[in-house]
Amino acid sequence: MRKVFNQVRSLLSGKSGITAAIQTFVVKVLVITINMGTGIITARVLGSAGRGELAAVILWPQFLAYALTLGVPQSLLYNLKRYPDEKSELFSTALVLSFMLGILASGIGIIFMPYWLSQYSPNIIRAAQWFMLASPLSLLSMVFAASFEARDEFTFSNQIRYFIPLSTLVFLLLLLAFDVDNPITFGMAYVLPSVPVGIWMFTRLWSRYQFSMQNMYSASKRLLDYGIKAYGIDLIGSLSGKIGQALVVGMLTATSMGLYTVAISLSRVLNTFEEAVNIVLLPKASARPLPEIILLTGRAVRASTFLTLLCVAPLLVLGPFFLTLLYGEDFAPAAPVFRILLVEVLISGTSWMLAKSFMAAGRPGVVTVLQGIGLSITVPMMLLLIPRYGLIGAGLALLISTSVRFVLVLASYPLVLKVAPPNLLITMDDVQYIRRSIAKRDQS
């Protein structure tokens, strides 16, 4: 029993790649469970139309913040690994840049919200404008997370990941206890918990990095040099998950938005394996020799893709049952687009993880252009398919775009890195490596 306890403690506190990935996976499962709880509450209380209004209110602050990162969070992580002696300057400059970009995102959202949400009520539009003030915090939170991960502090970073959705769930339950059930107030439950958590993260990081205004010009040049090149990959990752919702908000009714939000949220549960490994992969692989980067990426891709596939297959059959069981009969029409999004999740997770090799090798520019070609297909395809096929069209547009990006990333390995892409089929060597890594007590 003592041996089992020690092994579990090692897995939950270690800093090696395998243990950090396991920690992150456990947290992701916890977060998914909590998010499903909040999703079920909001869907059953608000209905499909109210759920669509809630999505319209809380979507834009994060969407615009992610669209305007300029790659700063990814660049900060890479540069902190490569230039640890400049950590104070890099951290401080990243904070300033991200805050300014967050203010820009807020301004854009406040100005254009009446045009983007023209089919919604004035109260929803006004609330969405107020919620745009959360954009700077969204950007700063990404910088905070990158700063912790650069120090291999995955345990604390993971604690933050589940604390925010847990606070949202508690907030929603309190609102229900006081018979509050409108989309705008529910939206506050999603946004407000980030404020004290952001302060907590900043306070903890202050003692590790210190704030310094020195050499800010050279630090910003270094951050933006890598960041602009990585920005396309960062932007693609954000837009590929949000662009569908953004266009559905503007082109279809609140009821359709509610159906799409539930379908895409439930399908993204399958990102658990990929995201858990992905969070750890870049910090562990950054600035290593190319053969090591390819080796690490290959193992990560094969394991996460295999596990995701095991979940996708049964959900293609049982997905409609779970939609109605969890969210109610109002959400049964989301079943067809849900099936399409399941396949898209499998391909997009593999593609996004394969792209990490270029990030770790310091060569994000070329693959950014290639993936950007794939993303550029999304908007015209949605504009073409959504009016014709509704929700099905939104799902098909995402699937087509994701498939193009997947092919382009694979082709980029021999063209850019001059190596063959990793094998995507899991092997016994991968299984044995994982078993050895778990069995070995973490010495980090």
Give pLDDT, residue 424: 84
Q: Over range 144-151, report the average pLDDT.
A: 83
296 in a structural domain: yes
Residues contacting 248, CB < 8 A, separation 6+: 256, 257, 260, 386, 391, 394
**pLDDT one-digit tens code per residue, 234-283:** 666 566 556 667 777 777 777 888 888 888 888 887 776 666 555 555 55
DSSP 294-360: HHHHHHHHHHHHHHHHHHHHHHHHHHHHHHHHHH-GGGGGGHHHHHHHHHHHHHHHHHHHHHHHHHH
Share of the chain above pLDDT 70, in %: 81
- Return d(Cα 262, Cα 239) in angstroms, integer: 18
260 located within any domain: yes
Give phi and psi for 300, each to the nearest 5.
Answer: -65, -45
Please give the pLDDT value at position 153.
73
Residue 227 falls within a domain, yes or no? yes
**Which residue range forms the structural domain that includes residue 158?**
2-439
Answer yes or no: is pLDDT of 79 > 60: yes
Q: What's the chain's average pLDDT?
A: 80
- Convert the pLDDT of each residue in 105-116 to its tens digit: 999 999 988 888
Q: How many CB atoms lie within 10 A of CB 417?
A: 18
Between 22 and 303, the more confident residue is 303
Q: How far apart are CA 116 and CA 131, in angstroms?
A: 15
pLDDT, tens digit, 9 for 90 and up, residues 312-363: 888 888 888 888 888 888 888 889 999 999 999 899 888 888 887 887 777 7
Q: Strand runs (DSSP E) across 134-176, as ranges?
A: none
Separation CA 153–CA 37 (nearest Å): 28
Residues 384 and 363: their CA atoms lie apart, in Å, by: 34
Rg (CA), the chain: 21
pTM: 0.66
Tokens in use for 259? 């159906």
**pLDDT tens by residue, 366-387:** 667 776 777 788 888 888 998 8
Q: What is the full DSSP assignment across 359-392?
A: HHTT-HHHHHHHHHHHHHHHHHHHHHHHHHHTHH
Indicate if the pLDDT at residue 146 is higher than 90. no
Q: Which of 45, 39, 40, 49 is nearest to 177 (CA)?
A: 45
Question: What is the structure's pLDDT at 106?
Answer: 94
Question: DSSP label at 215?
Answer: T
CA gap 89, 214 in Å, rounded = 7
Between 216 and 103, the higher pLDDT residue: 103
Number of domains in the chain: 1
Enter the tokens of residue 281. 């992969």
Query: Which residue type does 16 have?
Result: S
pLDDT digits (tens, 9 = 90+) for 173-218: 999 888 888 889 999 999 888 888 888 888 888 878 877 777 888 8
Residue 444 lies in a domain: no
